[in-house]
């Protein structure tokens, strides 16, 4: 029975403003961890193409995408999928279209109501009816942590078939029964993992950290993550050093 480590992506492993975005130290530590016979995977609220096409410097053994709505093995074969109903997506979109930047999660493209940066390769859209693909999640970006918290509570009160997870100033919304934590359980069962470690830096990582055997967070993470984590580290590389 193997051991495994699941890592959040943004600002845990991947830093878009740094070059390289994944440090050489982290890349080498991950390769060393896998060479020792352990499994390494990604656990993210990002949509499919925002994970699969992000980098080629590491080679995960599994992918948890869209907060657990999609789980893939290392060959990108699906282990689990669950989409959000079109009716719910439509209601959320029209409720928040004038309040937040909206991101739609599919398995092909990333749809946004506006670009987040100049080189953003997303597909811009203004009406939910433009999207014909299966939708696995929807993200709302407010650029305000207090508003994100309040709207997370509102969505979870109003909608019974989805669940919203706050990610600092944004919200990731997926079908009820999906979360980073539930995905960890599914990956554990599939690979017969004995000891599971997880590392993350934001509120939406709490379900993952609560479901792993060894929860790890960064020294810069919010206090609720530090309160439930066994290890506080500077990097993924340091976490791996502690695990080996």
CATH 3.20.20.140 is the classification of domain 4-81+179-243: no
| DSSP per position, 94-112 | HHHTTTSEEEEE-SS-EEE
Q: Which residues contact 145 (CB under 8 A, 6 or more apart)?
A: 168, 169
| Peptide bond before residue 55 is cis, with ω within 30 degrees of 0 | no
**86-175 classified as CATH 3.40.630.10:** no
Q: With bands split at pLDDT 50, 70 and 90, how would you rate the model's confidence at 76?
A: very high
114-157 confidence digits (pLDDT tens): 998 877 889 999 999 999 999 999 999 998 999 999 999 999 99
User: Sorting pLDDT into bands at 50, 70 and 90, what band is 2?
Assistant: confident
Inform me whether the pLDDT recorded for 23 exceeds 70. yes
Q: Where do runs of H (alpha helix) occur along 43-109?
A: 48-52, 86-96
Q: Which helix or strand (DSSP H or E) is residue 189 part of?
A: helix 180-191
Q: Are 62 and 27 in contact (CB under 8 A)?
A: no
Range scoring the smallest mean pLDDT among 50-54, 99-103, 173-177:
50-54
pTM: 0.96
pLDDT of residue 1: 66
Structure tokens at 196: 């599971």
> Which sequence spans correspond to the domains of the chain?
4-81+179-243, 86-175
One-character DSSP codes across 114-170: S-SSTT--PEE-S-GGG--S---EEEEE-S-HHHHHHHHHHHHHH-SSEEEEEETTE
**According to the model, what pLDDT value does residue 143 have?**
87
């Amino acid at each position: 029975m193997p051991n495994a480590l699941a890592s959040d992506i943004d600002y845990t492993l991947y830093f878009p403003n740094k070059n390289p975005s994944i440090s050489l130290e982290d890349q080498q530590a991950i390769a060393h961890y896998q060479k020792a016979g352990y499994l390494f995977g990604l656990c993210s609220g990002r949509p499919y193409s925002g994970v699969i096409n992000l980098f080629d410097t590491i080679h995960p053994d599994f992918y948890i995408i869209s907060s657990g709505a999609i789980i893939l093995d290392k060959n990108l074969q699906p282990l689990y999928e669950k989409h959000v109903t079109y009716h719910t997506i439509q209601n959320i979109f029209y409720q928040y279209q004038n309040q937040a930047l909206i991101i739609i999660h599919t398995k092909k493209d990333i749809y946004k109501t506006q670009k987040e940066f100049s080189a953003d390769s997303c597909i811009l859209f203004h009406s939910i009816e433009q999207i014909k693909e299966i939708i696995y999640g929807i993200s709302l970006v407010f650029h305000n942590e207090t508003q994100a918290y309040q709207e997370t509570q509102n969505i979870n009160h109003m909608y019974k078939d989805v669940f919203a997870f706050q990610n600092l100033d944004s919200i990731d919304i997926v079908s009820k029964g999906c979360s980073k934590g539930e995905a960890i359980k599914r990956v554990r069962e599939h690979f017969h993992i004995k000891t599971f470690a997880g590392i993350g830096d934001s509120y939406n990582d709490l379900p993952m950290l609560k479901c792993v055997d060894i929860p790890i967070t960064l020294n810069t993470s919010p206090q609720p993550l530090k309160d439930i984590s066994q290890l506080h580290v500077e990097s993924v590389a340091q976490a791996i050093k502690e695990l080996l």
